[in-house]
Structure 1
């Protein structure tokens, strides 16, 4: 990814110099545990990663927004006084959705801007490149217009933009993590109340690895909708016995064991994943607070098993990675992350012997799948910020 200075140079080449030019940066995220729980009002535990999106811009006097993507070599333009028509490139629609959401929230008082943007979050890998773009754009719009919008609201505006302008009914985790994460911490988030806590995760003898399977998530959207519908069906059925429940987060493991016989088999397995994953996420938070990385790693492995067999959102490639990780004493814990059906896994590994581990995973993964594994080292990064 281009540096802030390089992005500023491109901005000035395209739009000219002068005026107050501001840069905002927002990270992608990797979810350590708590998968497919966010839209069930549950708990998640992501961390920000070192890959992200940078956007450099300045205000205009009118209501036009002009954009330049360094990565695509494309330009886009829209006018906040005209109706949204989704004509621009997909990347620009995220920025437009955020800009229009801000404009709605601030009663049409948002001014136009011109901006250049770049990013290095691998797309389609479940690392929230879209949320990073939304949050970076939101932070820039807020700063340029002097609005003083809170970080929680910026995250919510990003989610709203994705819902209404991109047509993706995402949860709140991705935008929250990009906005609010701290360096050397994971973010524990209650997706119902939006209460959040920062759990210490200073990796000294360990390293976080993002393992990109190279398998695209082609079926993720349709299968995601099926899983969500199954969860909603489970709540509908269980509410006959468990009065007052609104989502699967309201069902304890013991209650689920008692009443799961009411559910059709597929619905039962989908709901069992969510109920047990919520508990695993709560247990993981406690493990981090105690500094118990071995316990945390065991919960990661258990999460993958549940996603593989109960929620059925893994794939052969992600399962191969999980089996290889289990066989290596250098790996503390590993699981698929993101929506599934491809994309990435996340692992916590010991620094000692890291080069040998990466070579082992790459070689064995290629032997078993014929695919090249991409491995990214990262550590818990800070959330979105205005940068120099």
Structure 2
């Protein structure tokens, strides 16, 4: 759905009444991951789609290097400078601004050759609004990062055609810059999936991403023609990735890959992407139980993603749904990133006629489920999920959408 243009322009006029001319809008979508959770940082496979909810930034370029931000959602302001002589630091009092700050730092170094022609990074006045529920596992952070990158690049004089959906190489570099911002500045060890979905997504398509090669393919997903849709259920349980066991899971699978490599005497095993089920079974005794379970989940989930892509290409949505259920079971029992609310939501969906598949989506520890459901069964599913009675929970349909863009 995205924030309406008139709504965010009005908020800009209120926040910056002295700078309300020539305002542009950068938008970037959140994402739902159909399958392939916690595989990206093991160089594995993922299958997200950009959704019709996201983050919008109304902005106006400044002649100096000052960045003035106003968040409508937090009703807070934050300022910093992008001048190369001034250090960009985190703002503990307004931590939401760290995503914008981190992106500015990544772009300022121009490691990703996005500015070009010796363009300096320019400051902006910017108002941020979003309709992706924060802390829900729909990647509001990556949407914010990509929208911030598009706003800063546009304000610095990068022509709109170079930022368009057809500028695939530029969009890949934007995704990489935003990932660096989240890894190095914000401090969350995410993979590339969220940023790639926010830059590379297309309407009516899922995005199959090989996180080792960082190659992506668009996979047609004509759900409407099949009489299906996706429903997201936000359990209302929020989490912050940097403070959650997310980084612990990453360390565990990295440890597992090293132990498997050593046990097999195979230096070619760098991540769990290089491990088959047969190899894992052969060395299980050499692994701590918890590490073994984490590895089992990732190895199996990579296989499920490949099978899910095949199912979409064949139009076999029943198979896709069953793979979603299996994915959730692995996340619950082996990776241990689910919670009571997520499990109850998936159980409820499975018991509802017309639902083909359901699973938690996102890093877990709260957040959302995604449900593949027949259109005529949507209301019944929503009613049953609502009846679970979780505080602040709600359900809504989503559609696959295009990646981020700038509109004048």
> TM-score under structure 2 normalisation?
0.90
1:296 aligns with 2:320: yes
Q: Specify which of 335, 338, 345 is matched with residue 359 of structure 2.
A: 335
Separation of aligned partners in 2, 1:194 and 1:146: 28
Q: Specify which of 216, 236, 247 is matched with residue 214 of structure 1.
A: 236
CA contact (8 A) 2:119 2:156 kept: no
2:259 matched to which residue of 1?
237
1:173 aligns with 2:155: no
Q: What per-residue deviation string (whole Å, max 9, x for no partner) do you get for residues 189-210 of structure 1?
A: 0111110001111221111011
1:11 aligns with 2:12: yes
Q: Specify which of 303, 309, 312 is matched with residue 285 of structure 1.
A: 309
1:151 matched to which residue of 2?
171
C-alpha RMSD of matched pairs (Å): 1.8
SS in 1 for 2:32: strand
Residue 222 of structure 1 deviates from its aligned partner by 4.0
Q: What per-residue deviation string (whole Å, max 9, x for no partner) do you get for residues 289-348 of structure 1?
A: 111100000000000011111111111111111111121221110001111111111111
1:84 matched to which residue of 2?
88
Pairwise mapping of residues 338-349 of structure 1 onto structure 2 (< 5 A)?
338-349=362-373
Separation of aligned partners in 2, 1:84 and 1:29: 28
Separation of aligned partners in 1, 2:59 and 2:393: 36
1:133 matched to which residue of 2?
144
Q: What per-residue deviation string (whole Å, max 9, x for no partner) do you get for residues 19-67 of structure 1?
A: 5422111010011100000111111000111111111112111111112
Residue 220 of structure 1 deviates from its aligned partner by 7.3
- Aligned residues, how many? 384
Separation of aligned partners in 2, 1:111 and 1:373: 40
Q: Please identify, of 227-236 and 180-189, the stretch whose mean Cα deviation from structure 2 is larger.
A: 227-236
Q: What per-residue deviation string (whole Å, max 9, x for no partner) do you get for residues 83-117 of structure 1?
A: 12323512222112111211111578111111122
1:228 matched to which residue of 2?
250
CA contact (8 A) 2:119 2:157 kept: no
Separation of aligned partners in 2, 1:123 and 1:189: 24
Residue 380 of structure 1 deviates from its aligned partner by 0.9
Separation of aligned partners in 2, 1:42 and 1:52: 25
Separation of aligned partners in 1, 2:267 and 2:186: 35
